[in-house]
Structure 1
Amino acid sequence: MSHETVLVWMLSMNREYGTEVGIPNRVQLGEAVFPIGKGKMRAQQSGFISTGMLMTQLLPVLMMRHRRVPRAKWVDQVTPNGKHWIDLVEDPNRPGRPKPPSIGYQLTFHNSLCGMAVTQGPASAVVNIGLGIKQLKVEPKGTSVQVYFESLSHKLTAHEISTIVGNPDEVVLKRLCMLLALKEAYIKAIGQPMGFDFSRLEFDIPNRRVSGDGNPLLGWEFRIFVAKLGVARGTQLKQEEYECVCAFYRGTPETTFLFHETPQLLENWVQFINIDQLMAVSNKLAA
């Protein structure tokens, strides 16, 4: 992966795999793959965590194993506002060797889809990456699209609302989920908590503009794509669709929106795996 290349890993929870993982297993796994700061991990865990969260946290470890970098040869770093990057451990037998680029990543998961956005370069730059995922469905089940839209309209600006109302239900739902995924990706890229007021951001997609508190946000790249999954739930195979956005700050004079609407375009930078592929190598991740 070259400097400023963006890659995304998507993990499909394509079948039921138990709903919860208890704290003893969580701590044991944490000590194996994240040996630095394991005491902090113990202190932060209470009760149970979801399988989705656990699988998502394994993605950077899987990525480094895919690169054939042993776990002892890299360190997970984090900024005060929770942005992560990976540094390779210097080889004492090869002094003076140029430092490899840092690898920044952002994790997120929503329902049956876990994701990781990745880039590499200077540590100060690679942390400016975020990933937003929003499933195209109403919640709770049985709610009309109009009621669902109204329940989330407080996260939108008046202009954004005007681009949605008056359209068929499928268009309303798609545009709503795309806007929410865009805002989530940006908020995660800058390291803000999810309690951030979404209505402070405005995405004017037709005119390729984005602003925060009324001020233009320049230099950002937003990659927008759809993930379609076949998910086994009991004896039924259900189709799920997600609006996904990767946000990355490139520091250019403009803001860029890139739409990837075909599998061929996605193959260049998005890799899909499923839970069985991850579990097949899970016992080797600490090596």
Structure 2
Amino acid sequence: MDCPILVWMLFTNREMTPEEYAKCHAVLRECVPHAPVRNAPSEPETMRLMVAFLLPLLMMRHRRVPRSRWRDQMTPVGKHWIEQIQHGPDNDPVAAAQRARSMIGYHTTYDHNLVGMAMTQGRREDVVNIGIGIKEISAPPGLSGQNFAISLYHKLTPLEQSFIAPEQGEEVVMRRLCVLLALKEAYIKAIGQPMGFDWSRLEFNIPEKKATGDGRPLAGWEFRVWTSELGWPIPNSDGHVKQAYQCAVAFFRRTRDTRFIWQNDAKELESWVQFITLDQLLNVADKLVE
């Protein structure tokens, strides 16, 4: 199934001003009225959630498709896809085939300062099962990486817990933990399950490149894994703030096997993952309604 994957990662390197927040929230209310985002500019979490809902609008503007030519649709389990409206004769089989393959499946998520959207284009039934997971490689303040990992053991199988044993060292434990969590989040969202889903029903045996759900192989799934490293200067100093995020995409390709792609080469990553900033969104926010 030839459905290329594209990912946008938006770095929220700063908070919005009250005016910017109001402008974006007005666009959200007009274009995405179902979005459960409260008008609360003093709460940073609402800004990130709002950005996640605005990313599909930004993506379609980037494709030069006006708002009147597409509709956001949703499956019964909450999986989103974009239906592009193409005018043409109903009895033209070529035009009908093009319309059928113009659907865009997507999923958005965020963690701390990184908002991501994974998307692919093709037939509706082929594109809706896509999900993205993002986990910052950092323990909460006041908690060591190993204790943080232990607090999340309930989301892991005994085999997965063995991969993040304390003797592995804190850096390895955090990196492996976030890989597992990002993969599980991506898959859970790709199949349209709520976050209350029992994560321990899934097992990712990374060394053997195997993935199972309730003990059965996740045949037909492709998992892509990469790390996003971000940073910005600290005002009035020579220092920089650095953050690293473990990211994963899950996509159902209907093949017979399970495929893992570990994207370590920066050039290859740039071919399908695009990094943008909050300012790039804000610069065109008022035009997203067009």
Structure-2-length-normalised TM-score: 0.89
Cα distance in structure 2, aligned partners of 1:88 and 1:137: 40
**Partner-residue secondary structure (3-state), 1:195:** coil
Cα distance in structure 1, aligned partners of 2:179 and 2:251: 16
Cα distance, 1:94 vs structure 2: 8.4
Going from structure 1 to structure 2, the CA distance change for 1:121 and 1:231 (only over 3 Å counts) comes to same
Alignment partner, residue 29 of structure 1: 27
Going from structure 1 to structure 2, the CA distance change for 1:45 and 1:110 (only over 3 Å counts) comes to closer
**Partner-residue secondary structure (3-state), 1:50:** helix
Whether 2:120 is the aligned partner of 1:126: answer no
Q: Is 62-71 or 45-54 further displaced after alignment?
A: 45-54
Alignment partner, residue 269 of structure 2: 266
Whether 2:255 is the aligned partner of 1:255: answer no
RMSD: 2.3
Paired residue type of 1:222: F
Cα distance in structure 2, aligned partners of 1:229 and 1:169: 21
Cα distance in structure 2, aligned partners of 1:232 and 1:190: 39
Paired residue type of 2:65: V
- CA displacement 1:5-26 (0-9 Å, x = unmatched): 001000000123259987x766
Alignment partner, residue 240 of structure 2: 237
Alignment partner, residue 59 of structure 2: 63
Cα distance in structure 2, aligned partners of 1:157 and 1:171: 18
Cα distance in structure 2, aligned partners of 1:246 and 1:20: 34
Cα distance in structure 2, aligned partners of 1:152 and 1:250: 30
Cα distance in structure 2, aligned partners of 1:233 and 1:50: 24
Does the 8 Å CA contact 1:129/1:190 hold for their aligned counterparts? Answer: yes
Cα distance in structure 2, aligned partners of 1:164 and 1:27: 41
Cα distance, 1:263 vs structure 2: 1.4
Going from structure 1 to structure 2, the CA distance change for 1:202 and 1:21 (only over 3 Å counts) comes to farther
Cα distance in structure 1, aligned partners of 2:51 and 2:102: 26
Alignment partner, residue 14 of structure 1: 13
Q: How many residues align?
A: 278
Whether 2:164 is the aligned partner of 1:164: answer yes
Q: Is 94-103 or 273-282 further displaced after alignment?
A: 94-103
**Partner-residue secondary structure (3-state), 1:29:** helix
Going from structure 1 to structure 2, the CA distance change for 1:197 and 1:29 (only over 3 Å counts) comes to same
Matches within 5 A, 1:184-195: 184-195=185-196
Alignment partner, residue 144 of structure 2: 144
**Partner-residue secondary structure (3-state), 2:76:** coil
Does the 8 Å CA contact 2:23/2:286 hold for their aligned counterparts? Answer: no
Cα distance, 1:278 vs structure 2: 1.0
Does the 8 Å CA contact 1:16/1:232 hold for their aligned counterparts? Answer: no
Cα distance in structure 1, aligned partners of 2:51 and 2:202: 30
Percent identity, please. 46
Cα distance in structure 1, aligned partners of 2:118 and 2:185: 13
Alignment partner, residue 214 of structure 1: 215
Cα distance in structure 2, aligned partners of 1:58 and 1:186: 22
Alignment partner, residue 279 of structure 2: 276
Cα distance in structure 2, aligned partners of 1:128 and 1:136: 26
Paired residue type of 2:154: H
Going from structure 1 to structure 2, the CA distance change for 1:21 and 1:283 (only over 3 Å counts) comes to closer
Alignment partner, residue 153 of structure 1: 153
Paired residue type of 2:50: L
- CA displacement 1:126-179 (0-9 Å, x = unmatched): 01000000000001x121122111101111100011122120110001000100
Cα distance, 1:234 vs structure 2: 5.9
Cα distance, 1:33 vs structure 2: 2.6
Does the 8 Å CA contact 1:13/1:231 hold for their aligned counterparts? Answer: no
Going from structure 1 to structure 2, the CA distance change for 1:160 and 1:153 (only over 3 Å counts) comes to same
Paired residue type of 2:152: L
Does the 8 Å CA contact 1:5/1:119 hold for their aligned counterparts? Answer: yes
Paired residue type of 1:143: L
Paired residue type of 2:71: V
Structure 1 unpaired stretches of 5+: none
Cα distance in structure 2, aligned partners of 1:61 and 1:83: 17
Alignment partner, residue 114 of structure 1: 115
